[in-house]
Structure 1
């Protein structure tokens, strides 16, 4: 656009109440004055155009070169811009203060906020502003209203065409979709048509709310709707405005409850989990299943030691607070909301019920979510699976409280006084009230107990029972899982000790014989392993149980690191009788095994683990036969165990 140097301005920028129409024959040409009778370049626009409230550009229609299509509108009028500031309040990616504010056809922002624009134009009291608005309104009416009519007809029939998908997805609205099999409500950030090698598709960019252990924030994701012919039912699109969901009340109730769970779980929690979860490591991602498994919910630690979590964008708005403009329009400023006002009002009323229940409760900006924000929450919470020792993403709806085995410690078979000593030591250490320290700060702050004895006498069960008694997480692993080289052992042990100390968990290192045996000059590799192990024990701050099947060749250096050593004698008849009674009584209320039978069984010189396995197998037999557990079932298992097939 050239400027006429001899032209004398009569109006300031954008204040002339006229529209300047421009045209170009193709996208390589410059914009020139529009001549509707002869579509070709005529006279170049000059300074006069800069005074006009609007500059309207046209070009040949893509399907008919004999017709002109509206290309764009540049708003120069400061009076119009002031009204547009209210029209597009909260509309992301649009700044109405630009010197030359240009909108390109098909004018999506005006379409989405059309009823708001109409309302502001009708209510305008200043005549000059109204004159300017009328210029814009006259042009846009011909562009916007046909789209609204088509959209309303499609919605009325509960279908949608590919070309009109954009008409029902307005930026900032809540959208229902499914992600990884989960019902989701997400916040629409942007939508547009795109194309790739496979053809055209409609792209939807969303925001949802995630957590990092201390607060909440937005995370972005996207989905695509591939091109299709004709029309599709709204429910078959893969996404639709959330208020149009056929069972919206049930959807809101479920997703609000799920968001409430996420809000409560954000932080550190020791929980139970049943169902599939996603195990993640640097090498692989896989689905696993666990039933009543113990987990630690800890998104913050997951992000440090597991897989880095998503970056959270701040949540700007809080709650259902409405601006002055929203209140003025009754909250229905979006054209799709207006077209489906009954469904939208039902949706809003459901949310209002939840918000009213929260009135009077103090808001913590970083940690408290509004009703709408709860709907946007991810169904996934991050943490650690103690059962399979893996960082994982858990389904919030499968997380539940732990059902502690309250009688586990009481049922433990140990010599008189052992249980009292163990309980006292562990209880005191977990309370962390004792500030007794080493001469060197940070050393010797943990409590390490060595449990030795034959297999099956209750060493592992002791650690498990103590964790149940204290309601603390139990991190259980065998020494072989730490690695083979000194470097592997050091890295693994450092991580395990860090996690258990952070979670105030009880650590059980099973079968530690390779670390406990005395060092020799003949095996330098194992000596390095033992040295690393000793060094890490020195600075451990938590409760650790070490188990060993033999203690004959004990390295003297461990004596100063271990606070209590408990040797488990072989089970005598009385101990075995107690174990038989315990396992027979667990889950077998109608058992036909008598006290006389138990006395006979106690004479078998087998360990506690073997007794448990025999009862478990006997129960399977009784269930298959649909009869109560009896002595016959146990004897049959014992015969098979001894290889007696007579």
Structure 2
């Protein structure tokens, strides 16, 4: 179709052309649904919409036929069309509101139509006109005032309400009996639940203890209801509305509204409303308060990305919405509805209302330090951290070393004492190397300093960083950036693989060490490296280390103190009684490291709590010995296994040495035999040659004849071969 061609039904042919054809613009358009005096007849007309035998839908007037069906329907204030499917079963109804007075009333009282263009459109409602019921009070008040100014316009609004009461007569009677009874608790059947959910009202989800603002609802396959709404959420930079939905399963008979999993808040008992309002507002204030990064404790279930199911977690966490959005980009993001932004991050506390506080989300975004994963936390399971102020002081190494560590940490935190490299951004980090046997307190040192400074501790090892150059570089870079953002300490446990001496033939390992050194050069935070061996230490790390601490094997005294320390944490009374009884000296005789002692105390504590006779959790010597027995059996078994392996290795080495010696002897014998055979063969050859010479030796007469003949032949040959050089004519006589 040409761009200037206009459908004839949309052209107003009444426009005078005055003999002039205007080719620059199309003729004025006229809306076929907007006729003169549209909707001014205060009546309701009904139509039926069917499919004919050809599969086309057609509309016939219900009840009586008008001469001009279309024009009559357009001039009526209300028209109701009942739609039937191809099997002639009921499908749905559509209410068309064309009365300008009714449309103006809806625009003024129903928020859904506040921005509706009533001048050029009619209002069409598919299904039950629930909004007329929900805003019946507002429509009544509007109509009463309108009648005083314009009686005819007021009659239109009255007619609209009359249509609503007639349409919902059965539902209204049922609702009045069950839900509006002042002497009983409100209840309702499943089919008419729509009557208690008005757009804009608060709905309380009892199981999740979450409130949202109701928007709309629909039936799923004529069975379950699905409610839609929104609550207030935070995406790291601004607060806005986020969509939420919940289903109400079908049920038989009548059910108390307060027992619904998504209950209308204003239908709950007054006492419960007050308690919930206080709870939800307090949580909303806390949600607003967590807009900045914070270091907290979590004890509950959460969604650890990428797992969809919830996981029970007890861990220190860092709440940081922006970091989640930046570095946890693979995790699901928070999307705010378009056009629903409410407050910026700075103005939220001044502008947010009490109702909006009740609608705040309970989901908090952050990082789980125990699992090294991004997570969505439940705000109700978040609390402040109880820092262990005695952990660092209880470490088993000299006080001078403790002072050194704390001094370096304080210097690093003081910007006035900052020292930069010649290249800006380099050399501002602080690296501690902790080396020694397992279980001597290396990891505990980093944890103790973390608690002493009240800073997060980011833990890394080969399992989190990987062993490829790419994974190590990306993992270290991300962790170091987070540490600088959160002012956290970083612990790289068992860092041997990244500290080992580079070799010319192992290019992959050389790449790991080089990447580690390069990323470390620009790190501006505090890093703890732990290792069990320094014999293969790459010398390039020596200049990067600010303080190296050696952790020697535990002595009898240090083991006894560790027993007392861990027992005191579990049960102070038990620790003191065992010390006075001399049991700690006995346990200190066992050659255990710190980690083993801690595990034994934990096991003994569990045994004490599980015993009926020790419900108070007192740890007796018996429980420690009980916990110690399987460990000693295991160590004995491992020692025997290790001894057998050593003996096996020794036997294999001895057998290998014997085999090598035998092989050497065999080779020597073969060589001697070869020499002996050579001598005998040479002797036999000489004997045989002598025999041959004796057999061929001529007699004196033969020798004389031969000599004469030879002389004659020589003379002849000499004559014949006079040109041959003498050397070539020489003969050898035997």
- Which TM bucket (shorter chain)? 0.7 to 0.9
Q: Is the 8 A contact 2:105 2:157 kept in 1?
A: no
Aligned residue for 2:443?
Answer: 460
| Alpha-carbon distance, 1:452 to partner | 0.9
Aligned partner of 2:132 among 92, 99, 110: 110
Aligned partner of 2:300 among 271, 275, 280: 275
Q: Is the 8 A contact 1:275 1:289 kept in 2?
A: yes
Aligned residue for 1:525?
Answer: 508
Structure number with the higher helix fraction is 2
Deviations 1:387-411 (A, max 9, x none): 1222222221111110010111111
Deviations 1:201-223 (A, max 9, x none): 43321111222234322111223
Aligned residue for 2:424?
Answer: 441
| Alpha-carbon distance, 1:480 to partner | 3.7
Q: Is the 8 A contact 1:263 1:368 kept in 2?
A: no
Aligned residue for 1:337?
Answer: none
Deviations 1:546-582 (A, max 9, x none): 0011111210111222222222233334433433432
| Alpha-carbon distance, 1:102 to partner | 2.0
| Alpha-carbon distance, 1:449 to partner | 0.9
| Alpha-carbon distance, 1:462 to partner | 0.6
Aligned residue for 2:334?
Answer: 310
> Distance between the aligned counterparts of 1:606 and 1:86, measured in 2?
81
Deviations 1:61-100 (A, max 9, x none): 979x9xxx985343353x5554443222x33686154423
Asked if 1:168 is matched to 2:153, the reply is no
> Distance between the aligned counterparts of 1:171 and 1:242, measured in 2?
13
Deviations 1:332-377 (A, max 9, x none): xxxxxxxxxxxxxxxxxxxxxxxxxxxxxx9923786322122222
* TM value normalised by structure 1: 0.79
Aligned residue for 2:700?
Answer: none
Quick one: higher RCO (CA 8 Å, sep 6+), 1 or 2? Answer: 1
Q: Structure 2 vs 1, CA of residues 542 and 15 (structure 1 numbering), >3 Å: closer, same or farther?
A: same
Matches for 1:109-148 after TM superposition, within 5 Å: 109-124=131-146, 127=149, 129-144=150-165, 146=169, 147-148=171-172
Q: Is the 8 A contact 1:23 1:31 kept in 2?
A: no
Asked if 1:184 is matched to 2:210, the reply is yes
Aligned residue for 1:245?
Answer: 268
Aligned residue for 2:718?
Answer: none
| Alpha-carbon distance, 1:470 to partner | 0.2
Aligned residue for 1:539?
Answer: 522
Q: Structure 2 vs 1, CA of residues 405 and 573 (structure 1 numbering), >3 Å: closer, same or farther?
A: same
> Distance between the aligned counterparts of 2:589 and 2:44, measured in 1?
106
| Alpha-carbon distance, 1:297 to partner | 1.1
Segments of 5+ residues of structure 1 without an aligned counterpart are: 319-361
Deviations 1:125-159 (A, max 9, x none): 764x3312313422431333625444323413633
> Distance between the aligned counterparts of 1:185 and 1:529, measured in 2?
51
Q: Is the 8 A contact 2:426 2:522 kept in 1?
A: yes
Deviations 1:580-605 (A, max 9, x none): 43234332324422355545554554
Q: Is the 8 A contact 1:279 1:392 kept in 2?
A: yes
Asked if 1:612 is matched to 2:598, the reply is yes
Aligned partner of 2:282 among 254, 257, 278: 257
Q: Is the 8 A contact 1:263 1:369 kept in 2?
A: no
> Distance between the aligned counterparts of 2:218 and 2:443, measured in 1?
60
Q: Is the 8 A contact 2:45 2:80 kept in 1?
A: yes
| Alpha-carbon distance, 1:451 to partner | 0.7
Matches for 1:506-517 after TM superposition, within 5 Å: 506-517=489-500
Matches for 1:76-95 after TM superposition, within 5 Å: 76-77=99-100, 81-88=103-110, 90-91=111-112, 95=116
Q: Structure 2 vs 1, CA of residues 227 and 537 (structure 1 numbering), >3 Å: closer, same or farther?
A: same
Deviations 1:13-52 (A, max 9, x none): 65995447655453567779x7x8x623422555x988x6
Matches for 1:528-607 after TM superposition, within 5 Å: 528-586=511-569, 587-590=571-574, 591-594=576-579, 596-599=582-585, 601-607=587-593
| Alpha-carbon distance, 1:194 to partner | 4.7
Q: Is the 8 A contact 1:174 1:186 kept in 2?
A: yes
Matches for 1:199-598 after TM superposition, within 5 Å: 199-226=222-249, 231-235=254-258, 237-246=260-269, 247-281=272-306, 284-291=307-314, 293-306=315-328, 307-313=331-337, 364-365=347-348, 369-586=352-569, 587-590=571-574, 591-594=576-579, 596-598=582-584
What secondary structure, in the 3-state scheme, does the structure 1 residue paired with 2:112 have?
coil
Q: Is the 8 A contact 2:502 2:510 kept in 1?
A: yes
Aligned residue for 1:322?
Answer: none
| Alpha-carbon distance, 1:609 to partner | 2.5
* TM value normalised by structure 2: 0.70
> Distance between the aligned counterparts of 1:266 and 1:477, measured in 2?
27
| Higher mean C-alpha displacement, 512-521 vs 490-499 | 490-499
Q: Structure 2 vs 1, CA of residues 559 and 121 (structure 1 numbering), >3 Å: closer, same or farther?
A: same
What secondary structure, in the 3-state scheme, does the structure 1 residue paired with 2:386 have?
coil
> Distance between the aligned counterparts of 1:171 and 1:238, measured in 2?
18
Aligned residue for 1:332?
Answer: none
| Higher mean C-alpha displacement, 220-229 vs 458-467 | 220-229
CA RMSD of aligned residues (A): 3.7
Q: Structure 2 vs 1, CA of residues 4 and 464 (structure 1 numbering), >3 Å: closer, same or farther?
A: closer
Q: Is the 8 A contact 2:412 2:418 kept in 1?
A: no
Deviations 1:499-522 (A, max 9, x none): 222211111111111111111123
> Distance between the aligned counterparts of 1:432 and 1:82, measured in 2?
66
**Aligned length, in residue pairs:** 578
What secondary structure, in the 3-state scheme, does the structure 2 residue paired with 1:443 have?
coil
What secondary structure, in the 3-state scheme, does the structure 1 residue paired with 2:374 have?
strand
Aligned partner of 1:156 among 177, 180, 187: 180
> Distance between the aligned counterparts of 1:16 and 1:188, measured in 2?
32
Q: Structure 2 vs 1, CA of residues 598 and 12 (structure 1 numbering), >3 Å: closer, same or farther?
A: closer
| Alpha-carbon distance, 1:2 to partner | 11
Q: Is the 8 A contact 1:507 1:543 kept in 2?
A: yes
What secondary structure, in the 3-state scheme, does the structure 2 residue paired with 1:312 have?
coil
| Alpha-carbon distance, 1:446 to partner | 1.5
| Alpha-carbon distance, 1:483 to partner | 0.7
Aligned residue for 1:329?
Answer: none
Q: Is the 8 A contact 1:520 1:527 kept in 2?
A: yes
Q: Is the 8 A contact 2:82 2:94 kept in 1?
A: no
Q: Structure 2 vs 1, CA of residues 150 and 637 (structure 1 numbering), >3 Å: closer, same or farther?
A: closer
| Alpha-carbon distance, 1:237 to partner | 4.6
Q: Is the 8 A contact 2:204 2:210 kept in 1?
A: yes
| Alpha-carbon distance, 1:192 to partner | 2.9
Q: Is the 8 A contact 2:257 2:268 kept in 1?
A: no
